[in-house]
Amino acid sequence: MALALGALLIFGALFLAFAAVGGMTQERSGVSRSLAVLQAMTDAPDELKSELDRPFGERVLEPLYQRLQRIGRRITGADQVERIRQRLDKAGNPDGWTVDRVATGKVLGFICGFVFAGLLALMLHKGWGVTAVLVAGGALFGFNAPSIFLYNVALKRDQTMQKEIADAIDLLTISVEAGLGFDAALQQVARNTQGPVALEFSRVLQEMQIGRGRTDALRALGDRTSIPEIRGFISAMVQADAFGIPIAQVLRVQSREMRTKRRQRAEEKAAQVPVKIMVPVVLFILPCLFIVVIGPAAISIARSFG
């Protein structure tokens, strides 16, 4: 029994010793692997570090934007590209807006409109017909949202140009009559004024500096706007340049006509005020007036008969 007990104790001691050695070896190997991983990350090349350190927008949003941009290019034909470019020119080429961005905005607007209209239809708990109409309308509105934005910007820009063109032509006339050439007078107007008219004149000068003829540059200006006064001014200047008519005389006539048209537009809008004010007067002001004037009498009559 003593021998058996001694052998058992020796065997147990050897087992514990081997287990402790194995655990220490496994722990050392785990620590070694962790240190190796840290060392590998420390010694990683700069390209891998820069890829891991890139922000979320560059890693996720930018590739998503590029994918939407490719889809927008596919669904946008050659004729649509030219139309979008013309709309951008009429809107004054807003900062950051390009043909690719408009096409990408159409795709993104379609997706957002589709999802928003679908969620709205689910919240309203309507039938399939109403849901389909809402989803189709939301997707169509989202797809056309960039075009609507450009149209609104171009419309406001045309209104601003229509107000400023008469003063710009006056300054142009004074500069030409003072002895400057037409190109130098355009430069003076573009330098001393602000607004879309000055920007358009600057663009005309830039196109002339890169080798484009004066007639072509002025006609391009007429294509970028839909204002009748500017188109008439461009037609008059082109004809004066072609037939050798004195530019100062043409500018004087154009300035007088533009001021007359601006005064006529102001008189027309003033004449429209009584007609436009009739609707709020009838719908909002007269009912309140009737309540104040007839209300006490109606209450007294109701009490008397009551």
pLDDT in tens, 103-155: 888 888 888 888 888 888 888 877 788 888 888 888 888 888 888 888 898 88
What's the confidence (pLDDT) of residue 13? 53
Q: Does residue 74 sit in the same domain as residue 13?
A: yes
pLDDT digits (tens, 9 = 90+) for 230-262: 888 888 888 888 888 888 888 888 888 888 888
Q: Does residue 165 sit in the same domain as residue 153?
A: no
pLDDT digits (tens, 9 = 90+) for 195-208: 888 888 888 889 88
The verdict on residue 304 lying in a domain is: no
The verdict on residue 5 lying in a domain is: yes
Percent over 70 (pLDDT), the chain:
75
Q: Does residue 230 sit in the same domain as residue 165?
A: yes
9-35 burial code (b ≥16 CB/10 A, e <16)? eeeeeeeeeeeeeeeeeeeeeeeeeee
Residue 187: pLDDT over 80: yes
* Residue matched to tokens 């001694």: 6
What's the confidence (pLDDT) of residue 54? 61
From residue 75, alpha-carbon distances to 27, 65, 79 in Å are 60, 15, 11
The verdict on residue 291 lying in a domain is: no
Q: Does residue 71 sit in the same domain as residue 130?
A: yes
Q: Does residue 106 sit in the same domain as residue 95?
A: yes
Q: Does 202 or 80 have the greater pLDDT score?
A: 202
Residues spanned by the domain of 16: 1-21+61-157
pLDDT digits (tens, 9 = 90+) for 11-58: 555 545 544 444 444 444 444 555 455 455 555 455 545 555 566 556
What's the confidence (pLDDT) of residue 24? 43
Q: Does residue 148 sit in the same domain as residue 205?
A: no
1 Cβ contact list (under 8 Å, min separation 6): none
The verdict on residue 293 lying in a domain is: no
Residue 228: pLDDT over 50: yes
The verdict on residue 245 lying in a domain is: yes
What's the confidence (pLDDT) of residue 45? 54
Q: Which amino acid is at 218?
A: L
What's the confidence (pLDDT) of residue 245? 81
Q: Does residue 89 sit in the same domain as residue 237?
A: no
Q: Does residue 167 sit in the same domain as residue 248?
A: yes
Residue 169: pLDDT over 70: yes
What's the confidence (pLDDT) of residue 59? 59
30 Cβ contact list (under 8 Å, min separation 6): none
The verdict on residue 279 lying in a domain is: no
The pTM of the full predicted model, rounded to 2 decimals, is: 0.67
Q: Does residue 134 sit in the same domain as residue 3?
A: yes
What's the confidence (pLDDT) of residue 23? 45
Residue 301: pLDDT over 60: yes
The verdict on residue 301 lying in a domain is: no
> Is residue 99 within 8 Å of 88, Cβ to Cβ?
yes
> Which one of 241, 261, 281 terminates a domain?
261
How is residue 266 written in tokens?
């102001």
Q: Does residue 164 sit in the same domain as residue 196?
A: yes
Residue 190: pLDDT over 60: yes
Helix (H, G, I), strand (E, B) or coil at 92: coil
For the chain, what is the mean pLDDT?
78
> Is residue 165 within 8 Å of 230, Cβ to Cβ?
yes
> Which one of 157, 185, 211 terminates a domain?
157
Q: Of 26-30, 61-65, 82-86, 150-154, which range is least confident? A: 26-30
> Which one of 102, 130, 157 terminates a domain?
157
What's the domain count of the chain?
Answer: 2
Q: Does residue 198 sit in the same domain as residue 99?
A: no
Q: Does residue 151 sit in the same domain as residue 10?
A: yes
What's the confidence (pLDDT) of residue 98? 82
